[in-house]
Amino acid sequence: MEDVTQSDQLVIVANRLPVDRVELPDGSPGWRRSPGGLVSAMDPVMRTRNGVWIGWPGGTETDLEPFEDDGLSLVPISLTAQDVEEFYEGMSNATLWPIYHDVVAKPEFHREWWDSYVDVNRRFTERAAEVAEQGATVWVHDYQLQLVPQMLRELRPDLRIGFYLHIPFPPAELFAQLPWRRQVLEGLLGADLVGFQLPGGAANFVRLVRQRVGHKTHRDIVYLPDGRKVRAAAFPISIDTRAFEELARRESVVERCAEIRSALGSPTKVFLGVDRLDYTKGIIARLRAFSELITDGSLDADEAVFVQVATPSRERVAQYRLLRDEIDRLVGRINGDLGRIGQPAIHYLHSSYPREEMAALYRAADIMVVTPFRDGMNLVAKEYVACRYDDDGALVLSEFAGASNELRQAWLVNPYDINGMKAALLEACRADDKARSRRMKAMRRTVLRNDVAAWADGFLESMAEVGRSE
Ligand code: F6P
């Protein structure tokens, strides 16, 4: 019989806490907002709920106690230097990340990385089992923690468990390369609800469960031999749209936007890219397309500039180091060839900025360029749209970003096709006011309606329903 003691506590289990422990200039420890879409999306969700967030604060500190930060209740998990190397940089980001992103880079397979993945997933699980109240809801996030649902169900069958994958779930043909494919599928099946960005990811998962684990499935439901049901469905993630718009309307942001444009030399057209420095993001391809437009005379270097913000990410993983060098070289070459004194063609910023500065950049950009080779969603595209409250601005968006499913009115591009991308950049740049505003209005309606609160409510309600239907 089901236990009658239920709790409304929500426990988030994610690889990262929303804040990273950093050393301040005076040598004392401080906290900085963590990078990436997961934190941007979950932070506002947690603020409206009685929740606890379990995660890694970055680094290898060991003496961390649970603490409150800016109204959030945080429970840190320590990783050793070896965990960081094998679980985080290795299995998570040099094996799973490339496999789940269309093998854009070659995945590496190492048995000791897998052992570390199992071990760290177990430690997250044990902490979640300690922290969760009887009958609480535990929401596990992303590819770093795919074994937690099953491990947690074994320890705490009273809990309602959900899992959400923020990145794409690959086609069966790619997933099948993973030597531990069955363990990963079984790990995920510990959840009541497994959420994906797109219906295609959910369908890939159900098909794999049928083929590789042999469970019966019907549409989006997996039937387990013990009578339990697991639902796999799409819940496209979003942002706190109104909060972004409010930020963009602030006087300080409006002033900063004007300052940015003037510091750029008051060009007619500002192109903007904002990404974690990651090989999936297509940064090189877009910079090439832009520079060719200048070289072949379609754009004038006096009138058009490109600002590329690349937030440092996973800097000890070989592929990321190589990419950084490649971008450094390319930007150097383009600016060497096309720049003038005080007027580089590309303003390249290898740094992360507070939200206010990002909102000012979004306001300053005439054309936002989002061209990943593969991306779960891409929240930057949605943030740009949220900040364009005057219905102005153009979005050039890769077909391979999850966001392209919803933002159909963007200038959609195939990032592998440089000529196609050049044509779209030009079209977006030359579009008349009416065309830009028609497209932006439609995208704004979508992003205002499907915001992060709607996403979280949809997921949590659906979790409760799976529970009830048993
Ligand atoms: O959404 C994808 C994601 O990998 C998150 O899980 C992660 O927190 C974010 O991007 C940033 O990556 P990392 O935590 O490796 O710095």
Å from CA of 109 to ligand 1 middle = 20
157 and 289, same structural domain?
no
Q: Does the beta carbon of 186 lie inside 6 Å of ligand 1? A: no
The answer to whether position 4 is within a domain reads no
459 and 436, same structural domain?
no
Q: What single-letter DSSP state applies at residue 401?
A: B
214 and 246, same structural domain?
no
Provide the residue range defining the domain that includes 340: 241-449
Which residue ranges of the chain lie beneath pLDDT 70? 1-5, 467-470
Q: Does the beta carbon of 197 lie inside 6 Å of ligand 1? A: no
Å from CA of 38 to ligand 1 middle = 7
pLDDT score at 2: 47
Give one DSSP letter per residue of 316-385, joined into a string: TSHHHHHHHHHHHHHHHHHHHHH-BTTB-SEEEE-S---HHHHHHHHHH-SEEEE--SSBS--HHHHHHH
186 and 158, same structural domain?
yes
161 and 34, same structural domain?
yes
Phi, psi of 84 (to 5 degrees): -60, -45
The answer to whether position 157 is within a domain reads yes
pLDDT score at 470: 54
Q: Does the beta carbon of 16 lie inside 6 Å of ligand 1? A: yes
Of 38, 315, 352, the residue with max ligand 1 atoms within 8 A of its CB, to mutate for a pocket test, comes to 38
The answer to whether position 252 is within a domain reads yes
- CA nearest to 124, candidates 160, 190, 77: 77
The answer to whether position 3 is within a domain reads no
The predicted model scores a pTM of: 0.96
282 and 160, same structural domain?
no
427 and 320, same structural domain?
yes
pLDDT score at 1: 43
Give the domain CATH number at 55: 3.40.50.2000
User: What is the chain's mean pLDDT, rounded?
Assistant: 95
Q: Which atom of ligand 1 is nearest to the CA of 93?
A: 15
Residue nearest to atom 5 of ligand 1 (CA): 38
Q: Does the beta carbon of 372 lie inside 6 Å of ligand 1? A: no
Distance CA 230, CA 74 (A): 29
282 and 357, same structural domain?
yes
151 and 16, same structural domain?
yes
Q: For residue 77, give the amino acid letter.
A: I
Q: Which atom of ligand 1 is nearest to the CA of 37?
A: 1
- The total domain count for the chain is 2
Angle of helix 181-188 versus helix 199-208 axis, rounded to 10 = 110
Å from CA of 4 to ligand 1 middle = 37
Distance CA 100, CA 370 (A): 19
Q: Which atom of ligand 1 is nearest to the CA of 276?
A: 11
- CA nearest to 271, candidates 171, 181, 348, 193: 348
257 and 233, same structural domain?
no
Strand partners, 423: none
Q: Does the beta carbon of 38 lie inside 6 Å of ligand 1? A: yes
> What tens digit of pLDDT does each residue of 93-145 get?
999 999 999 999 999 999 999 999 999 999 999 999 999 999 999 999 999 99
The answer to whether position 118 is within a domain reads yes
Q: Does the beta carbon of 37 lie inside 6 Å of ligand 1? A: yes
pLDDT score at 277: 98
The answer to whether position 2 is within a domain reads no
pLDDT score at 71: 80
The answer to whether position 427 is within a domain reads yes
Using the CB atoms, write b or e for 83-118: b if 16+ within 10 Å. Answer: bbbbbbbbbbbbbbbbbbbeebbebeeeeebbebbe
Å from CA of 92 to ligand 1 middle = 10
Q: Which atom of ligand 1 is nearest to the CA of 142?
A: 6
Q: Does the beta carbon of 451 lie inside 6 Å of ligand 1? A: no
248 and 200, same structural domain?
no
Distance CA 409, CA 56 (A): 38
Tell me how far the alpha carbon of residue 23 is from its chain's centroid.
25
424 and 463, same structural domain?
no
> What tens digit of pLDDT does each residue of 337-396 get?
999 999 999 999 999 999 999 999 999 999 999 999 999 999 999 999 999 999 999 999
The answer to whether position 332 is within a domain reads yes
